Amino acid sequence: MFGYVRPLRPSLLMCEFERYQAVYCGLCHALARHFGPGARWAVNYDFVFLAMLFWQGEFHPVKRRCIRHPFRKKPAAPPNPALEFAAHATVLFTIWKLRDTGRDGGFFARMGAGALLFPARRALGRSEKFLPETALAAGEAMRELWALEDNCCESIDFTADAFARMLGALAEARGVGEERRVARSLLCHLGRWIYLADACDDLAHDLRKGRYNPVAARFGLSRGPLPENIAEQMKATLSFSQKGVIDAYALWPRGPFDGILQNIITDGLTARAEALGQPGGKGKKAVYEGSVSGIGRKQGRRRAGD
């Protein structure tokens, strides 16, 4: 359910793309530093977004070597509280995803999830200690989501809102007062968007395997792919959640990654929504390269709040 929150490459300046890659590398280093080298596999784009959103202070990349680039140093984000936060959030949510796979996946997927969960217990304990309020709220929301799925809930709002509260729980650890409220609103709308986009992408696979899918339950679908008329309705629903993200970000203090963040929540989310119902699923790299959506540098960058 991760990997959707990414920038649209043709709309990024070269310097912005280099900074984005540096934060990605910085999160990878942070995971290895806090949880060991094996945690590097969990790094993903959604939590790079989180690190940039909550970044504290200015940004000055450093040169570092890593497993992937052992002979030539690459720019990487320096240690920052936002990276530490994103690393713990990555572990927390990756383990919840593994637990979800253990419930709903096929035989081999369940075996793989179980094999990964066993050595991850210590990492989970560290993350729950670092983010106690988030861990508690996210756990309650995930268990509510499982209950709705087990009962084959026909409302996409109930299921999407449960996952939205799970992601919104991350705001409990960042900021106070108005800042926390804005962060919770932004992350809840983003969580709703991610859940529904993932449900649309997984529709054919879920129906083929006989698994619950909120879009199939809502529209009474028995086979995929996503019909064009329903795809248009889902795009409108995603657009509503995206507008909530944009409106919340308009109230968020600007940091060193403002241009990249605005690219993600406008062009990136729009490109992914426009690709709903097309073959390739959520891993379709061409979506974020701009060759599917038609959104590119020529159109210019839309600014949040415009």
CATH number for position 17: 1.10.600.10
Q: Give me the pLDDT at residue 293, please.
A: 40
| CA pair distance 176, 260, nearest whole angstrom | 25
In a domain, 76, yes or no: yes
Which DSSP string do the residues of 274-297 spell out, in sequence order? Answer: HTTTSTTGGG-HHHHHTTTT---G
From residue 259, alpha-carbon distances to 20, 39, 96, 167 in Å are 10, 29, 31, 23
Determine phi and psi for 75, rounding to 5 degrees. -60, 135
Q: Tell me, what's the pLDDT at 296?
A: 40
Helix (H) / strand (E) containing 75: strand 74-76
Q: Quick check: is 306 in a domain?
A: no
Indicate whether 156 belongs to any domain: yes
Q: What is the distance between the alpha carbons of residues 247 and 282, in angstroms, rounded to a whole number?
A: 25
Q: Residue 277 belongs to what domain range?
A: 9-299
Is 227 a domain residue?
A: yes
Q: Report yes or no on 143 lying in a domain.
A: yes
What is the structure's pLDDT at 165?
94
The ranges of the chain with pLDDT < 50 are: 281, 283, 291-306
Q: Which residues pair with 37 in a beta bridge?
A: none
Specify the pLDDT at position 279.
54
In a domain, 1, yes or no: no
Does residue 2 lie in a domain region? no
- What is the distance between the alpha carbons of residues 278 and 274, in angstroms, rounded to a whole number? 9
What local confidence, expressed as pLDDT, does residue 68 receive?
77
Residue 306 has a pLDDT of 47
SS3 64: strand
- Listed residue (249, 235, 219) closest to 277, CA to CA: 235
Number of Cβ atoms within 10 Å of the Cβ of 178? 9
pLDDT score recorded for residue 148: 95
Please report the pLDDT score of residue 102 as a whole number: 82
What DSSP element (H or E) covers 132?
helix 132-150
How many structural domains are present in the chain? Answer: 1
In a domain, 269, yes or no: yes
